[in-house]
Each structure stands twice: as structure tokens, then as C-alpha cells.
């Protein structure tokens, strides 16, 4: 019998991935932080709170003890939000060994430090783990994966053979996994797209249409690509599933928390109230702050991110933010990438 | 007083552009092919059939005589479908002069010849016009432009100064126009995106979700970019408004005829019935045939286009087409662009 796979975090995505892995023939230990929630999911054979309607098969064992979840496992799938990644890394550290592959699925930066999550994992885990850190990313709403609707993603990592192992455990007829060795690109694309998703949500909340949204998506992808490239990412990654694909799904789907939060902001609700309404983590808010910081650091102009930062953290009226974007001076497409050129790139 | 601008074709897009130009302070001659329709729009001060709810200002004069529409004009905006572009070019030929700028707005290929529309215009118009042929493209549903919702587009052409003149007449606070001198790229992107829009419509019609659609958009953009690059286009154009932007809006909006046609096909309706239901031109059907032909010619693998061709012209079951796409062998992202590599790029 094969060793079990550990999935840490029983939110919607952790649950969907545990079910998928079980359908692929693996034993899965699904760790839920909350003891009561753990018992409820286990008794119901369903995660009624975060992934209702999807039956959890017997190959998935719920557990509340992280040591127990990790015993004899070769693969650890982390499905906790960005702000919990360091804590999780510290918790798993005593139990990893040379062959362990760690697969992060969160998309964001660590709050305050603005570190990418693979950087956080590398800070906390032993050196021999560093090559075996992978990231699963791409357009993949848990609700749809739970229903076996066709989905395509990427697995990113520094090591080809680890990435192939991750591809092997996840891939099936409905879940297509591509390998991309540009880890930094996949990480930045997946995180930064949430800034643009908040922005398109705001546009929707203001009552603007599909034309406006498409312009924000296109120009938004251009600016997050510029930032990524300045940190060494491959621009092609941003045109791929982890960039464009995830951006499109996040900006157009009602499953997206970032978009839904943006809609409420566009309708005039204050940020604090929006975040408390959501009841779940809205990664895009923290990511906007990180992106604003990184753009300054790299000297990259990001007009949409800048306006989002002003709206979220300085109370700028969203309608004025859109007007600021639409009334910039005339330009050529693709012109004016860097601060030093003095051009306006939107 | 400035010379009037001619807009040829009083469908939704021609009407929306005529109204926009009038709001920008221009006199506009809006030519409608059908005499009765021309009289009705003129009397109603509204195009109730194709752009209901938008008042046509007095600066727009409806006319049914093409010579009259073109008298003393420096700009001719062609807003007829792809299959009528040659006929329109022949009609305007006697009235053009050295300074005339011709702006095509159709997105497609000429049926049967599979020529790009600027090639058709160049075949029919005098040499001195060739540098002054421009194309207005990008994510721009007429219904939303008519409501002054923020919209961003590109004007493409071989000649910088002509493109700047076009930018000047159209640009306003709600309608942002970028210049892109990659005419072939803008033309191919605008046309080919309709193949993918039909495909995502089919996916929606089959009941698949946002994940599937995002994967089709991403991999679709990759394959139409490959084809474009093989014909000399700049790959960046495909990541811009005329490519990605227009693709996103076409694949996610109910305003899109190509998407709506795809949905009906996905629901199992025969192509003939779908086309007769639509009552308007569905450019993507002819474009799929053209793209299939051009891909063969260039030796470029286009898995989605190939499946679309099989569904539209050889009666392949749409669900089997999706399965064919999802069960290709495992690959790296960005791998296997050309036939000669022997890889499957989806």
C-alpha cells in the first residue's frame, strides 16, 4: 500500500484536493485545525461549511493532530491561507525528511514581510527540503473541482522530478496538470492577480460593463507581468494558466472572494465592513499592499495597483480611481513600462 | 467647419461609433444599406433594432446613398461584416483620394479566400490608400459604448500619422484608444479570438464551469498567438487589448454572438439551426474554417481550433471534443508549439 498524502487545511480547496487525491487512489490524511470542525466533517462525510454537496470518500481520514496527519507521508499539501504558511512550516518542520515534497496552494505574500510563500517555507524548513517545494496554481475554483468539471493547472517548482511526482498524484481525466519550472513567476502571478480581481470587482460594483473589465484585465496583466519580470520571472508564465487563466477566472466568477469583496467596495461599503461581511480571508487586500511596496522597490509603474492602493488604504473614491486610469495621456500599447521612461502605461 | 466622417453600416457597432464621433464634435454621415431601415432610424433618432436606448444626435445624418455619405470626407469607417468588406471597398473606390483614411472595424477573414480584411481592402483600393488603412479593434461591445461605459481599444495601421489621426477622432474620456503598428497581429488576434469564443460557448452549453472556460481562454490564446507569430505578428499584440482583452470580453459576455451561438451548439442544436436562430452574422464559424486552413498552411498545431473544426463541420460530439482536449499526454506549459516537435500543446 502507498503512503498516505497529508492535506493541511480543511477549507474549500483543501477539501476538494483531498477528495480528488482519494479518487485518484491515494489514502489521504486531511488535517483540520479546529477540533470541532474536524469531528463534524468526519461524521458528515461532507464539508458542509466550505464545500457542500461533495461526498468525502472513505480514503480520506480527518485528523486534528498534525503529527498524526504527517506520519509516513511523502507529500504534504498545504492548503492554509498565506498568513498561516509560516506557522504551518514551523509545525511540519520536525516531521519532514529528505524525500518529503511540500506543495503549497496558497496565493499571496506573507503579510508585513511581503515575502513570497516559497521564501517563507525555505526560511523555516531544512535545506534538503528546498528543492522539493512546489506550488499548485491556476484557474481552479474548489466548487467546480469538487464536481469534476474540467480544470487545468500548473505545478511549479525548482526541481523537475519533484514537479513530475506532483503532476502524477493529481492528474486525472478532469484535472490536467502542466509543469512550469518558473516558480517565482507562478508564485507572483497567482498572488498579484488578486489585486486586479479586486479592481474588476470594484468596476462591477460601480456598474461598469464587460468592456471596462476586459480593459482592466488586459492592462492589469501587463502591469503584473512587468513587476514579475523585474524580479526574474518569465513573462510567458503570466500568459499561462497561473497568470492569465487564474486572472480571468478570478475576475469573472462569483466564486471569487476577491471579486465579491471588490464589488462591495465599488458599491461604496467601507473596507472594514466588507472584510467582516466576507468572513473568509481576502488575499487581494494584503497583496495590494505588498504589490505597491514591491513596485516601488523595483521602480515599476503599476497604475491599476496604485489606484487600488489609494482606494483600499487611503479612502480614494473608486469612481475617481477609474477616471484617473481612463484619462491618462495617449500612449502606444506596450509603451512606458518603467518609471524612468516618464510614460503612463495604462 | 470640419469635414464629415462617413460611417458605413448601421448595425450596432456602426451606430455606436457614429454616436460616439458625434459626441466628440464631428459631423457624421451614417450610411445604412437598407432604405427602409435608413428612414426608420432617421425618423426615430434611435436604432431600435440594433442599438435600442441610445439617442442618435442631430450631428448624425442617415443616408442610403454611398456617394452622398462619402462626399468631402477624410475618414471612412467601415462597420460592415467581413463578408461584405470587398463589396464596400469596390463601392468606395471611386470616391477615395490621397488623404482618405479607411478604418475597418470588422473582425474576421474573407470567406473562401481566407484573406485578412486589410488584404482585401488593398486589393480593391488604389495604391496611395494602402498606407492609410487602419483597423479599430479591442474589447468593445456596442451596447456598452452606447452607454458611455469606460472602454479601451487599439487602432492599428502601417502608418503612424494615420493611426494618430484615428486616435484623435475617437478618443474621449470614456473611450481610450491606443496605437499599435502591428496591423497583422491586431487583425489576426481580433479574428481568431472568435474561434475560442465559440469554444467557450460550447463549454458553457455543456454545463462546464469557469475553470474550464479559463483553461480554454488561456490555451486558446496560446494557440492563436502561435499562428499569428508564424505569419509575422508580434506576440505582444496577442497579450494586449485586441487579443487577450477582446478574447475575455467575447468569452464571458452575453452580448457576444459567437459565445451565444456556441452555447446553443453545446446544448446539442445543429449548426444550421443555430445560425438561423441568431439572425446576425456569427463570424467565428467562417473564421474557424479559415484558421484551420491557415494552421495547416503554416504547420502550427492548434488543438482547440482543430476540435472546433471537427464539431462545426464534421458533426463531432462537443463533449467528445472536450475529452479529446483534456486527455492529451502530459506536457510542460509552453511546450510543443509546432507540428514538427511531435508534442501536444494543449
C-alpha cell at B88: 464596400
- Contact between B248 and A248 using a beta-carbon 8 Å cutoff: yes
Which segments of chain A belong to CATH 3.40.50.720?
5-181
**Minimum-distance CB partner of A210 among B236, B255, B322:** B255
Better pLDDT: B258 or A185: A185
Size of interface A-B (CB pairs under 8 A): 192
Under 8 Å between Cβ of A283 and A82: yes
- Contact between B150 and A322 using a beta-carbon 8 Å cutoff: yes
**DSSP state, residue A57:** P
Better pLDDT: B307 or B324: B307
pLDDT band at B337 (very low <50, low <70, confident <90, very high): very low
**pLDDT value at residue B282:** 81
A329 and B CB contact within 8 Å: no
Residues B215-238: pLDDT tens digits? Answer: 999 999 999 999 999 999 999 999
Neighbours of B68 (CB within 10 A): 12
C-alpha cell at A26: 491515494
**pLDDT value at residue A150:** 93
Percent of chain B scored above 90 by pLDDT? 83
CATH class of A5-181: alpha beta
**DSSP state, residue B336:** -
**Cell numbers 509546432: residue:** B338
- Contact between A149 and B208 using a beta-carbon 8 Å cutoff: yes
Which segments of chain B belong to CATH 1.10.1040.10?
192-341
| Lowest mean pLDDT, pick from A122-126, B180-184, B233-237, B328-332 | B328-332
Distance from CA of B143 to the nearest CA of A (A): 10
Query: What CATH architecture applies to the domain B192-341?
Result: Orthogonal Bundle (1.10)
Which segments of chain A belong to CATH 1.10.1040.10?
185-341
**pLDDT value at residue B329:** 61
Interface test with B, best of A17, A203, A210 (most B CBs within 10 A): A210
Ranges in chain A, pLDDT < 50: 336-346
Neighbours of B223 (CB within 10 A): 24
- Average pLDDT score over residue span B179-183: 96
Residues B84-132: pLDDT tens digits? Answer: 999 999 999 999 999 999 999 999 999 999 999 999 999 999 999 999 9
Find the distance separating the first CA and the last CA of chain A, reported in whole Å. Answer: 55
A342 and B CB contact within 8 Å: no
A208 and B CB contact within 8 Å: yes
Q: For residue A173, which residues of chain B lie inside 8 Å, CB to CB? A: 323, 326-327
**Minimum-distance CB partner of A218 among B241, B252, B331:** B241
A340 and B CB contact within 8 Å: no
**pLDDT value at residue B335:** 57
Find the distance separating the first CA and the last CA of chain B, reported in whole Å. Answer: 55
**pLDDT value at residue B345:** 37
Q: Which residue of B has its CA nearest to A323?
A: B173
Interface of A with B in 115-174 (CB under 8 A): 138-141, 143-145, 147, 149-152, 154, 167, 171, 173-174
Q: Go through A156-186 and write b for each residue having 16 or more CB atoms within 10 A of its CB, e for each that does not.
A: bbbbeebbebbbebbbbebbbbbbbbbbbbb
| Lowest mean pLDDT, pick from A78-87, B15-24, B330-339 | B330-339
Catalytic residue among A45, A122, A165, A193: A193
Q: Which residue of A has its CA nearest to B204?
A: A149
B107 and A CB contact within 8 Å: no
**DSSP state, residue A2:** P
**Minimum-distance CB partner of A178 among B152, B225, B331:** B331
Catalytic-residue membership of A48: no
Binding-site residues of A for sn-glycerol 3-phosphate, in ranges, read 107, 138, 140, 193, 246, 256-258
A326 and B CB contact within 8 Å: yes
CATH class of A185-341: mainly alpha
Amino acid at each position: 500500500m502507498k503512503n498516505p498524502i497529508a492535506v493541511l487545511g480543511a477549507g474549500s480547496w483543501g477539501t476538494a484536493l483531498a477528495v480528488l487525491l482519494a479518487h485518484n487512489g491515494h489514502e489521504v490524511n486531511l488535517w483540520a485545525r479546529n477540533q470541532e470542525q474536524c469531528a463534524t466533517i468526519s461524521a458528515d462525510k461532507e464539508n458542509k461549511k466550505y464545500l457542500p454537496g461533495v461526498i468525502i470518500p472513505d480514503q480520506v481520514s480527518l485528523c486534528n493532530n498534525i503529527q498524526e496527519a504527517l506520519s509516513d507521508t511523502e507529500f504534504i499539501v498545504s492548503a492554509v491561507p498565506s498568513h498561516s504558511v509560516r506557522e504551518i512550516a514551523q509545525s511540519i518542520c520536525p516531521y519532514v525528511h529528505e524525500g518529503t515534497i511540500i506543495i503549497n496552494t496558497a496565493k499571496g505574500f506573507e503579510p508585513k514581510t511581503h515575502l513570497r510563500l516559497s521564501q517563507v517555507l525555505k526560511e523555516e524548513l531544512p535545506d534538503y527540503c528546498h528543492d522539493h517545494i512546489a506550488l499548485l496554481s491556476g484557474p481552479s475554483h474548489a466548487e467546480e473541482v469538487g464536481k469534476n468539471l474540467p480544470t487545468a493547472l500548473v505545478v511549479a517548482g525548482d526541481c523537475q522530478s519533484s514537479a513530475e511526482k506532483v503532476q502524477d498524484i493529481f492528474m486525472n481525466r478532469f484535472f490536467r496538470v502542466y509543469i512550469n519550472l518558473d516558480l517565482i513567476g507562478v508564485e507572483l502571478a497567482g498572488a498579484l492577480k488578486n489585486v486586479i480581481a479586486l479592481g474588476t470587482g470594484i468596476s462591477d460594483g460601480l456598474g461598469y460593463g464587460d468592456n471596462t473589465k476586459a480593459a482592466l484585465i488586459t492592462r492589469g496583466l501587463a502591469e503584473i507581468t512587468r513587476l514579475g519580470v523585474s524580479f526574474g520571472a518569465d513573462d510567458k508564465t503570466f500568459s499561462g494558466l497561473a497568470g492569465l487563466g487564474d486572472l480571468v477566472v478570478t475576475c469573472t466568477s462569483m466564486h471569487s472572494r476577491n471579486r465579491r469583496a471588490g464589488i462591495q467596495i465599488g458599491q461604496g461599503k467601507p473596507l472594514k465592513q466588507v472584510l467582516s461581511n466576507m468572513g473568509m480571508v481576502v488575499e487581494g487586500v494584503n497583496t495590494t499592499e505588498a504589490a505597491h511596496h514591491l513596485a516601488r522597490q523595483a521602480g515599476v509603474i503599476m497604475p491599476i495597483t496604485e489606484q487600488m492602493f489609494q482606494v483600499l488604504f487611503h479612502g480614494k473614491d473608486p469612481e475617481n480611481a477609474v477616471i484617473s486610469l481612463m484619462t491618462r495621456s495617449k500612449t502606444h500599447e506596450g509603451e512606458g513600462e518603467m518609471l524612468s521612461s516618464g510614460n503612463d502605461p495604462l
